[in-house]
Structures are given as C-alpha cells and as structure tokens.
Structure 1
Amino acid sequence: MELIVLWDIDHTLIENAGVSKEIYAAAFSSLTGREPTAPARTEGRTDRLIMRDMFLRDGLPVPEWPAVEDALARAGHDRLGELRSRGTALPGVPEILKAASLRSGWVSSVLTGNIAANAHVKLSAFGLDSLLDLSVGSYGADAELRPELVPIARARIRRLRGVPADVPTVLVGDTPRDVEAALASGSGIVAVASGIHNSKELAEAGALEILPDLSDTKGVLSILEFFAARGKRPRTSLHRPRTR
C-alpha cells in the first residue's frame, strides 16, 4: 500500500518554546532597523504571510521576498543552539517518524509554513531531519496560503520519487489551517491537539481523526494504514475527538 504522509513541524513534531517568534522578530529587525510593534501571528500560517503581515501591520512597505527569506534563514541559523536548549521533540515523534520512514511504498515528508532552511534547522536540532524525505516537502516560501502547499508537495513527489498521482495523501498537523489544507485538497487529515488548538476546535474545523499527541506509535500507524488502504479519509472516526 502506497501513501504520502506530510507532517507539520511546529507543535506537531516539535515544541519551539518561543524561538519561532524570535526568528520572525529578528528577521524583521534586520530588514527595518527596529523591532516589530507586536509578535508575529503564526497559528499554521506560512512564512510569506506571517512576514508580509508584520510589515503591513507596522505601516511599512513589504520587501522583495528573496530579501525576507534570506533574513529568515540567517535568523533561524543563528538560533539553532537556543532551539536545542529550550525546545524539544514532542512525545513519540522520533518513533513514529522512524516507523513511517521504514514503510515500503510510503513517502514521509513535511508540509510546513516554515521556509526550507528553517524547517531543516528545527528538525535537525532534535535529530529528526534524517527520518524525513525533506527534498520533496512543501515549505513556506512555496506559496502564501497553506492549501496551496499540498499540490506542490504532490507534484514534487511525483516528479522526484515517481509516485503515481492517485496515491492517497495524509496531512498530520495541529491547527485548523492544517485541516483546511487537507479538506481543500482532498487529502486525509490526522489532527493532533498538541498545540494551542484543542480537540473541539479541530473537530469544528472538520477533522475526524484527532489525537492528543503522537505518542501511540501503533495507533498512529493504524490510522495511516487505514488511509493507505482506503485512499480517502474515513467516514467515521477511529479515535473520537476529545476536548483537552
């Protein structure tokens, strides 16, 4: 059974302990010479959208994207040590990523709002980068809106890994925007209430499969195998939503 699994990073695979918002603030400051008036709004949004909104909110012209991406990459690189000391991989993440990487016919990569450079920084900080096929992932530089990232990842996987177009795709993420991206693209969704959104919010967004975290390796694999076998999201939840 073939399957494409696309994992979100922040609050799904790792806890960044506030380092992400420090990266956005540092990138903003390096481009403007002053601090932003308020922290970045993230919650599953892409880096393109996050940074654009920071400039507009402060009444500033939005720089050309290459300059913004370069500033983000430098800020992320400079905070690798801070991320390692303050952040952590979330419960069960190394185990489920390793298990998924060993499944024959599965492509396990990322769909994240982070630019590729900072996605690598965040994953490598906790030794997770080698467990994912990052070259076929979809990143925050690729599009402004999260649903647009799904076909980009699918196209890369078809082109670089030779995966047929009809292989099912499952997103794993912690925000309503992850759920929206899955539903808009006809993908499956496994929502994880390990970020700021609780099970009720994720269910209201349309998720049927909702887990408190990824610590139950066998349980998560069972859900992913269901998607691989059926090729679509289940009609009823195997794990009914629970409010935290």
Structure 2
Amino acid sequence: MELMVLWDIDHTLIENAGVSKEIYAAAFTALAGRAPVGPARTEGRTDRLIMRDMFQRNGLAEPDWTAVEGALSDAGKARRQDLSRRGAALPGVREVLKEVSVRSSWVSSVLTGNIADNARVKVAAFGLDPLLDLAVGAYGADAVQRPDLVAVARERARRLRDARDGVPVVLVGDTPRDVEAALATGSEIIAVASGVHSAEELADAGARTVLPDLIDTGRVLRILDAIAAR
C-alpha cells in the first residue's frame, strides 16, 4: 500500500516562536534598505506571495525573485540558533515522523511555503531532517500558489523514488490554505489545530479529518493506513 505524506512545517511540525516573521523582515530590510512598516502576513502562503505582499504594502517594486530568495536564505541561516533556542518541535511530531519514516512503501516529505533552504533550517534545528525525505518535498520557490506544490512533490517522488502515478497523497497542515490545497488537487487532508486556526475553522474550510495535535501517534497512523488501503 503506497502513500505520500506531505507535512507542513510551521505550526504543524514546529513552533517557530516568531523567528519566521523575523526572517521575512530581515530579508525585506536587506533588499529595501529599510525595515517594513508591518510584519509579514503568512498563514499558509508561499514565500513568493509573502514577499510580494510585503513589497506591495510598503509601496515598493518587487525585486527579482533570485535576489529575494537569496535574502531569505541568508536571513534563515543567520537565525538558526535563535530558532533552536526559542522554538520547539511540537508535541508528538518526532514520534509520528519516526513511525511514518519506516514504512517502506510510503514517502514522507514536506509541502511548505518556505523556500527549501529555510525549510531545511527549520526541521534541522530540531533534528527532524533525518526523518523526512526532503529531496522530494515541494517548497515556496517552486510555485506561487500552494495547490501547485502538490504536482511538484508528485513529480519529484515519481522521478526520484519511482512512485507510481496516482499514488494517494495526504497533506498534513494547520491552515485553511492547507485544506484548500488538498481539496483543489484531489489529495487527502489531515488538518491539525496546532496553529492559529481553530478546529472549527479548519472544518469549515472543508477538512473532514481535524486533530487537535499530533500527540496520538496511533490515531494518526490509523488514519494514514486507512487512506493507503483505499
């Protein structure tokens, strides 16, 4: 029974304790020469959209994406120690990732709005990177809109891990945008109310499976097993 499980990072796998917004502010400042007028608006958006929005709200033209990505990468690397010190892997995450990682016919990776460099910084800060197949993940530089990242991850899994076409995909995330990405691409969704959005908000967005957190490893595995068996 094959399965592809794609985990969101911020507020699903880790608590970043505000470091993410500091990364966006630092990248903006490096490119614009001044601090932004307000914090980044994230909530499941890709880095492309987050930075575009910051420049628009500050009345500035958006720089070339290569420069933006480089500034984000530099800002993320510079804050890895802050993230390790102030943030944390969320309860139950390490245990469930370990269990999923040993399923020989499953692919377990990430689908995140973060660029690849910063996604690696965030999971490595808490020792989660060996439990994820990051090479087949989909990242914030790969597409503007989150639903388009699903096809990116599918293609990488097919090319790098010989995943068959049509293998079931499950997104695990904490925002309505994670739910919307699943619904738009025919993927399954496990919504987790571990971020700023309540279980009711996630259900209203269309999630049929909503968990308070990832603490109950057995429950998460039963849900994933049932999807793989369909």
Please report the TM-score for the alignment, with normalisation by the length of structure 2.
0.99
Cα deviations by residue, 1:126-182 (Å, 9 ceiling, x for unpaired): 000110000000000000110010011001101111010121000000000000000
Q: CA deviation at 1:60?
A: 0.3
Structure 1: 5+ residue stretches without partners: 231-244
**Aligned-partner Cα distance in 1 for 2:173–2:12:** 6
Cα deviations by residue, 1:82-141 (Å, 9 ceiling, x for unpaired): 000100000000000010000120000000000000000000000001100000000000
**Aligned-partner Cα distance in 2 for 1:99–1:117:** 25
> Paired residues, what number?
230
**Aligned-partner Cα distance in 1 for 2:147–2:30:** 30
**Aligned-partner Cα distance in 2 for 1:152–1:97:** 21
Partner in structure 2 of residue 211 of structure 1: 211
Partner in structure 1 of residue 109 of structure 2: 109
**Aligned-partner Cα distance in 2 for 1:224–1:190:** 9
Q: CA deviation at 1:70?
A: 0.2
Q: CA deviation at 1:199?
A: 0.4
Partner in structure 1 of residue 80 of structure 2: 80
Partner in structure 1 of residue 92 of structure 2: 92
Partner in structure 2 of residue 65 of structure 1: 65
**Aligned-partner Cα distance in 2 for 1:167–1:136:** 14
Supply the AA of the counterpart residue of 2:105: G
Partner in structure 2 of residue 53 of structure 1: 53
**Aligned-partner Cα distance in 1 for 2:114–2:187:** 20
Partner in structure 1 of residue 118 of structure 2: 118
**Aligned-partner Cα distance in 2 for 1:64–1:226:** 44
Counting only pairs closer than 5 Å after superposition, residues 173-184 of structure 1 correspond to structure 2 as 173-184=173-184
Counting only pairs closer than 5 Å after superposition, residues 149-164 of structure 1 correspond to structure 2 as 149-164=149-164
**Aligned-partner Cα distance in 2 for 1:78–1:99:** 32
SS of 2:114 mapped into structure 1: coil
Please report the TM-score for the alignment, with normalisation by the length of structure 1.
0.94
1:130 and 2:149 are equivalent in the alignment = no
Supply the AA of the counterpart residue of 1:22: E
Supply the AA of the counterpart residue of 2:145: L
**Aligned-partner Cα distance in 1 for 2:174–2:63:** 30
**Aligned-partner Cα distance in 2 for 1:159–1:85:** 37
Aligned residues: CA RMSD? 0.4
**Aligned-partner Cα distance in 1 for 2:114–2:153:** 14
Partner in structure 2 of residue 238 of structure 1: none
State the identity as a percent. 70
